[in-house]
Amino acid sequence: MSVLNGKKILLGVSGGIAAYKTASLVRLFIKAGAHVQVIMTPASKDFVTPLTLSTLSKNPVYSSFYNEEDENEKWNNHVELALWADLMIIAPATANTLSKMTSGTCDNLLIAAYLSAKCPVYFAPAMDLDMYKHPSTIANFYSLAQFGNVIIPAETGELASGLSGEGRMAEPENIVAFIEDDLSSKLPLKGKKILVTAGPTYEAIDPVRFIGNHSSGKMGYDIATCAANLGAAVILVSGPTNYNVSNPLITIINVISAEEMYVACHQFFGDVDVAIAAAAVADYKPKNIAKQKIKKAADNFVIELEKTKDILASLGALKKNQFLIGFALETENEIENAKQKIQKKNLDLIVLNSLQDQGAGFGKPTNKVTFIDQFFNQEPMELKSKESVAEDILNKVIAHFEKLK
């Protein structure tokens, strides 16, 4: 999955021959899973049509502050466009547009949006070789870098003038690869390994029956997905669920029983930086598993149970430098029970949720949690989607590593 997946990209197209390549660039962004809106300078429409980019981006293309053919139509809000974007890409960035970006000469919609942008801005220069090496151009490159913009260096090749040299806009696939590499390198959990457990465990009674619970696994899968999107390599140890993931940074280890989850967690724990135990592991399992299906004969049937191994406590006992996060689902004395778990299991953070809270618990798309750290500091959160709760949890992980710097 591309790091651009789900990103909102505002593509600014200025008036150079390389503008024809933006059709391919838009297609590649869309293929990577991004949402694209395009702003064109009036001059760029001589090189590629708004209809082409509108069709490929599946959005209207903007090139002026208002529709000159309809004086009653609302204006094209450059601030709204700029604030919508997660990323702004200006390609091609001609010498003229670079100069305006540097000086703040705001005479078209593209520059107005650029000056209003709060997001990262990338620009891909395109001009003839002498223009590319001119002191004024080099000065503009330096100034734009000082502003926090990122240059996608021009490539060497045949130019529109007939000359050959540096100044050719980077090919669309190289632009996409450059942005992906740059974003990936800046992800806050890049280089970290995170172990996540998810879902229920099933403890066999006989070949067809088991003891389980109502956990869907969604919370753990959302945590794993969020961690991978932030750059972490994730090992997801999952009990039986209907969920799946496709992010190449996530390795799924499928297990069924608490014993299998215990073994998998211990296999990987020593090599990770963080462990987040979101699985709803069975506390007890049948002491003896019938080899054949148990027939319905007697009016009463007794199953002798024995405790399963406490995965989280065992990881806490082995913990060295790992940041260890547990979950607590409680129905009474929630805070006190959670505090006891922190101490008994040597946790750095516990995520408490109560079945007393509307919208929390198993099988729901939402959760309402309270964070309690090892010093018993409490942070109650409002009801949120489980995706948002996952983000909050990973923000705690990020904050932990920020403190260590």
Catalytic machinery residues: 213
Nearest residue to 58 via CA among 80, 34, 41: 34
The rounded distance, in Å, linking the Cα atoms of 161 and 131 is 12
The rounded distance, in Å, linking the Cα atoms of 196 and 67 is 52
Q: Which residues of 116-140 are buried (b: 16+ CB within 10 A; e: fewer)?
A: bbeebbbbbbbbbbebbeeeebeeb
The rounded distance, in Å, linking the Cα atoms of 294 and 288 is 12
The rounded distance, in Å, linking the Cα atoms of 281 and 28 is 43
Provide the Cα torsion 381, 387, 392, 393; round to 10°: 110
Give 3-state DSSP helix, strand, coil % of the chain, rounded to 5: 35, 25, 40
Instruction: Please say whether the dihedral angle defined by the alpha carbons of residues 207, 211, 215 and 218, taken in this order, is positive or negative.
Output: negative
Run of H or E including 228: helix 218-229
Residue 292 phi, psi dihedral angles, 5° rounding: -120, 160
User: Residue 402: left (phi > 0), alpha (psi -120 to 50), or beta?
Assistant: alpha
- Per the document, the length of the chain is 405
DSSP state of 355: T
Residue 340 phi, psi dihedral angles, 5° rounding: -65, -40
